[in-house]
Amino acid sequence: MRCSYCYNGDIVFSTGERTLEETLIFLQTRSGLLDGVVLSGGEATMFSGLPEFCRKIKTLGFKIKLDTNGTNPNMLKALMDEELLDYVALDYKAPIPKFYEITKNRNFSYFEESLDLLLKADIDIEVRTTLHSDLLSEHDISFIANDLEVRGYEGIYYVQEFVRDVATIGEIENPKSDFNRNKVLSTLAIEYR
């Protein structure tokens, strides 16, 4: 994906500086000091060696949280089948009519498959959306919340308001449009952060 508000350009464009081996060596020095590891991105599930990396993290005694955009349901299923994940945060980027506009990706059906997989699984999850009010409206957030509710999501839906404090992939500025939380129509629990 190429969301204009993304601030992880070095990860998205694979210009990171640590190897997997260096990361594992670092984690060994944190064994007993940290409880868990967050795998994020870009999109961590695009890495074909992710299951093996997770197995190695688990042998060090860490829990694993995965931040995902849901576009690789096969990898997500493989990780869950091996019980390698303890928590998943799923980014619901936009309702289907705006999905490509926001993400520059046409795989909404993969996202839906991942969402449905997670809702059926015995794993702790959260669903969240980054809100840039020039890109998403109260109607869009209502749509997402209602879609989650219809699918059976019972957790808190987190809406993270975009604030530009670092460079982003799209060099997008802070929103100019106001967002009125009172216009969001849903009975799902929504927390703005």
Residue 178 belongs to domain with CATH number = 3.20.20.70
What domain range includes position 22? Answer: 9-192
What is the pLDDT of the chain when averaged over all its residues? 91
* Domain-located, residue 150: yes
Structure tokens that stand for 135 in this block: 């890109």
Task: Report pLDDT for 18.
Answer: 79
* Domain-located, residue 4: no
Residue environment code for 4-39, b if the CB has 16+ CB neighbours within 10 A, otherwise e: bbbebeeebeeeeeeeeeeeeeebeeeeeeeeebeb
* Domain-located, residue 161: yes
The 10s digit of each residue's pLDDT in 144-168 is 999 999 999 999 999 999 887 776 7
Give CA–CA dist 171/33, Å, rounded: 37
The 10s digit of each residue's pLDDT in 71-94 is 999 999 999 999 999 999 999 999
Task: Report pLDDT for 7.
Answer: 62
* % of the chain residues with pLDDT over 90: 79
* Domain-located, residue 2: no
Where are the extended beta strands (E) located within the chain? 36-39, 63-68, 87-91, 124-131, 157-161, 190-192
Does the pLDDT value for residue 64 go beyond 80?
A: yes
* Domain-located, residue 151: yes
Residue environment code for 120-130, b if the CB has 16+ CB neighbours within 10 A, otherwise e: eeeeebbbbbb
Q: Is 156 left (phi over 0), alpha (psi -120 to 50) or beta?
A: beta
Give CA–CA dist 44/72, Å, rounded: 9
Give CA–CA dist 115/46, Å, rounded: 17
* Domain-located, residue 102: yes
Number of domains composing the chain: 1
* Domain-located, residue 1: no
The 10s digit of each residue's pLDDT in 33-53 is 999 999 987 799 999 999 999
